Amino acid sequence: MKQTRRREITRTGTTVEQMVRAISGLIVTGSLKPGDKLDEVSLAGRFEVSRTPVREALRQLGAMGLVKREPNRSAVVTTVDESHLNSMFEAMAELESICARLAASRMTAEERRSIEFEHRASHRLIQDSAEEDYAAYNTRFHTALYLGAHNEHICDLVTQTRARLAPFRRAQFHLPGRLVRSFEEHETIVTAILRADAAAAGSAAYAHVAIVRTAAASVVANPQVFADL
Amino acid sequence: MKQTRRREITRTGTTVEQMVRAISGLIVTGSLKPGDKLDEVSLAGRFEVSRTPVREALRQLGAMGLVKREPNRSAVVTTVDESHLNSMFEAMAELESICARLAASRMTAEERRSIEFEHRASHRLIQDSAEEDYAAYNTRFHTALYLGAHNEHICDLVTQTRARLAPFRRAQFHLPGRLVRSFEEHETIVTAILRADAAAAGSAAYAHVAIVRTAAASVVANPQVFADL
DNA sequence: ACCCATGAAACTGCATGCACTTTCATCGTG
DNA sequence: CACGATGAAAGTGCATGCAGTTTCATGGGT
């Protein structure tokens, strides 16, 4: 017999893991905005658990940088000022650049074949202006890049940074022409990778992020500007 | 009145913060080795607190990557296989390289003056073979590099990576000739920074870490090889 | 002798309760 | 009317207890 007094919401893993997923989900999807207070009793009530797993989840989210905690004070969804946001985008550009550079020299034939194939397939999506599907593909593309670097730790760092930027990446591919631009930038990266041209892949990836970063300067005021990352 | 039933060990912050510091201290200093089990009741007894703050501390340490947790199983000091260790050193090299490159172009006059002064001062330490003091200086040097990059997020990433490598950096400057080599490598980096030569600073910093990384390949078997980072 | 049940000991997961701190509305005072 | 004291309400910090799980030693069956 598993879980005696467990409600039906039970999906996978421990209660704390569920809470981490649930809360980070609320943050990443924008249901909870930067600056929002996360009080333990409300969250516990909302998810019908006790405060203990909520507290542990908040502690973990704090370590992940998604919320900020101070003693005897409610946890707060991490706010980033313009300067910090800029620093995260810059870090993202550097990290993606490293991944692309390493991927260009290390990807297996199979990985190269796969990323090329998927990239080609994504061309259809931009013709259909399928923003949702393209966004999903975009995530796969970047993930493939991170994995292609064949460096577990760098993959962790870039994934983690990506998660922290997530709250600021809403309204992604809805800018006119962004889909096409994104595809072209991917094309540059993929071509360089297939040529095993590490330097070109690295600088193309840096530019790919840097384009977004430029727009990001004005973003704290107007979140709509955010785009493909 | 503060803290009614608090024991005298109370230093700063909440009990959980103390536990995080205490446990990560045990890990970083090597009192707890990779693979060691961290059972909650023993730790609670050892530090004379209840399991609750211990659990929260372990959760946070898990998020920081210092320990690994699995449901219904004791936390374990993170073990890294040779491949993962290599990936962390490579990441470290890339990150330090970025910091050096950015520092070369962004450090203020005051920061440049300070790092040059401290570097010069460290010369005395290698003449005295003051390993302990040099190790402390070395930490300051690298921290100054991270801060000099003027990028908060990258500073976070590199600091975090450094912490995770800490358990593998014992027996640091005790290799014959390592102090002198380290100083010379620092010299190259400092000189490049003072010239505002970003490319040279970046590649010097990469090389500085890469030297250690090379030795690290054989390290899982023989921890003595680890050196200056 | 070996192997697999079995059950107790040890441990983790979570809920609950109390102590302490912060917050905020209320009231008295200058 | 502004301003600071005050105390209750709400929230966090930690201890404790119980339920469920893992682990390990023991004993019966082959």
Average pLDDT, chain B: 86
Q: Do B82-225 and B15-77 fall under one CATH topology? A: no
Give the pLDDT of residue A175: 65
Return the beta strands (E) in chain A as ranges: 37-38, 67-68, 75-77
Please tell me the distance in Å from B121's CA to the nearest CA on chain A: 32
**Of the candidates B56, B63, B90, which has its C-beta nearest A151's C-beta?**
B90
**Superfamily for B82-225?**
GntR ligand-binding domain-like (1.20.120.530)
CB-CB neighbors (< 8 A) of A88 in chain B: 153
Question: Is there a contact between B60 and A55 if contact means CB atoms under 8 Å apart?
Answer: no
Give the pLDDT of residue B220: 46
Q: Running DSSP on this structure, what letter comes out for residue A131?
A: H
Q: 10 Å Cβ neighbour count for B39?
A: 13
Please report which confidence band the pLDDT of residue B6 belongs to, taking 50, 70 and 90 as the band edges: very low
The pLDDT tens digits for B85-139 are 889 999 999 999 999 999 999 999 999 999 999 999 999 998 887 888 888 899 9
Determine which of B59, B66, B86 to mutate to test the interface with A (most A C-beta atoms within 10 Å).
Answer: B59
For residue B6, which nucleotide's C1' is closest to its Cα? D14
Beta bridge partners of B77: B67
Residue A29 DSSP SS3:
coil
Residue A75 DSSP SS3:
strand
DSSP secondary structure letters along A49-72: --HHHHHHHHHHHHHHTSEE--TT
Query: Look-up: residue for tokens 């540059």?
Result: A188
Q: What φ, ψ does residue A77 adopt, rounded to 5°?
A: -60, 130
A49 strand C contact, CB < 7 Å: yes
Give the pLDDT of residue A179: 83
List b or e across A124-154, with b for residues whose CB sees 16 or more CB atoms inside 10 angstroms. Answer: ebbeeebbeebbebbeebbebbbbbbbbbbb
The pLDDT tens digits for B145-189 are 999 999 999 999 999 999 888 877 755 566 667 788 889 999 999
Instruction: State the number of CA atoms in the 13 A half-sphere of B180 facing the CB.
Output: 4
Residue A39 (CA) to nucleotide D29 (C1'), in angstroms, measures 58
Number of A/B CB contacts below 8 angstroms equals: 68
CB-CB neighbors (< 8 A) of B60 in chain A: 59-60, 62-63
Task: Please give chain A's pLDDT, 229 residues, in tens.
Answer: 333 333 333 457 899 999 999 999 999 888 999 999 999 999 999 999 999 999 999 999 999 999 999 999 999 999 988 889 889 999 999 999 999 999 999 999 999 999 999 999 999 998 887 888 888 899 999 999 999 999 999 999 999 999 888 777 755 566 667 788 889 999 999 999 999 999 999 999 999 998 777 655 544 444 444 434 4
Looking at CATH, the fold of the domain delimited by B15-77 is given as Arc Repressor Mutant, subunit A (1.10.10)
Do residues A80 and A88 touch, judged by C-beta distance below 8 A?
A: yes
B74 strand C contact, CB < 7 Å: yes
A151 touches chain B (CB under 8 A): yes
Do residues A89 and A216 touch, judged by C-beta distance below 8 A?
A: yes
Characterize the bridge pairing of strands A75-77 and B67-68: unpaired
Predicted TM-score (pTM) of this structure: 0.84
The helix-helix angle for A152-165 and B152-165 (nearest 10°) equals 140
A42 strand D contact, CB < 7 Å: yes
A132 strand D contact, CB < 7 Å: no
Query: For residue B32, what are its two tokens?
Result: 């707890």
Residue A29 (CA) to nucleotide C9 (C1'), in angstroms, measures 46
Q: Which residue has the higher pLDDT, A20 or B12?
A: A20
- Domain residue ranges in chain B: 15-77, 82-225
Question: Is there a contact between A71 and B14 if contact means CB atoms under 8 Å apart?
Answer: yes
